[in-house]
Structure formats: C-alpha cells, structure tokens
Amino acid sequence: MTAYTATVTVRLKHGVLDPEAETTKRSLERLGFELSALRSADKFEIDLDADDASAAEAEATEMTERLLANPTIHDYEISVAETEA
Amino acid sequence: MTAYTATVTVRLKHGVLDPEAETTKRSLERLGFELSALRSADKFEIDLDADDASAAEAEATEMTERLLANPTIHDYEISVAETEA
C-alpha cells in the first residue's frame, strides 16, 4: 500500500445561486476593489492508503459521491498524487 | 486591460483545529471508508481586469489579506491566469 493524497474540489454547478460568493464579492466592492465575478468552492485533501493511484482515485470518488458533494447542485474534480514525505 | 482569473486557496495554518474537517473525516469513517487525514480549504476564483498578470496577482493578494484570509490562523496561495474565453 502506498500513501496518496486525493484533492477534491467541489463547486456549485453553473446557474446555481451562491449567496456566500455574492456577499463576498459585494464586501470586496465595498472595500474599493473592482472585480467582475467571484466563485467559491470547497477543497478537501484526503490522505489515504491504496494499492495504486487509480484505486486511490476510485476511493476518493466514492467518498465524494456519498458525502462531500451533492450531485444535484455540485460538480467536482479529483486529482491524486503520492503523499509528499 | 486583460481579463484574469485569480485562484485563491485559503487554508488553516498547521496546528489550528479544524472541527469541520474532523467531523467530515468521522462521517466518512462511519460510512466505512479508511483515511488517515482530511484537511479542508476554501477556494475563491476571482475574475478581474488588470494591466498584466503581476498587477492581477497584487490586487488578488490585497483582497485576500483584507478580506478572504485571517493571517492569524490562515495560510493562502494565489495563482493567476488569463481568463479562458
């Protein structure tokens, strides 16, 4: 078994309202910044042991689909790398 | 002016307790997954216009230090790329 880190990024699907991002954008504008859009996402780094990278990615995908993301409103991306020592 | 997207990742400094990540880790374990650690981070994608990439990065850094991150408890990373059409 090798130690892998799976990085999971969960973001709202295009068109789903994101009031938190909207509030953050407005707060930045109130501070005087100019920006045309702001999107927020959740990022999870999961350390797990697996036989190989594809097994680690399959495990992380199942974790994401069962708990971390809601497929009705979220898209997600997963990348896997060996954990740095 | 060119359109840039700054990606800001804000994470808790090493050693700062993260009860949300701890709860997520335990929920995954309750579902039968085995993992050795889970860390969470916030990711912001900010679309802004700037003269060049280094000006965009400077602007995103100021946004991060003034609003998105709390330097007492957070580390952050910023990367900047031209916005994809």
Looking at the 3D structure of chain A, how many domains does it have? 1
CB contact under 8 A, A40 and B43: yes
Residues A79, A9, B47, CA angle at the centre, nearest 5°? Answer: 115
Asked if this assembly's ipTM is beyond 0.85, the reply is yes
Domain of B30? 2-82
Averages of pLDDT over runs of 10 residues in chain B (85 residues) are 96 94 97 97 97 97 97 96 87
Any B CB within 8 A of A22 CB: no
CB contact under 8 A, B43 and A44: no
Which CATH number covers residue A41? 3.30.1280.10
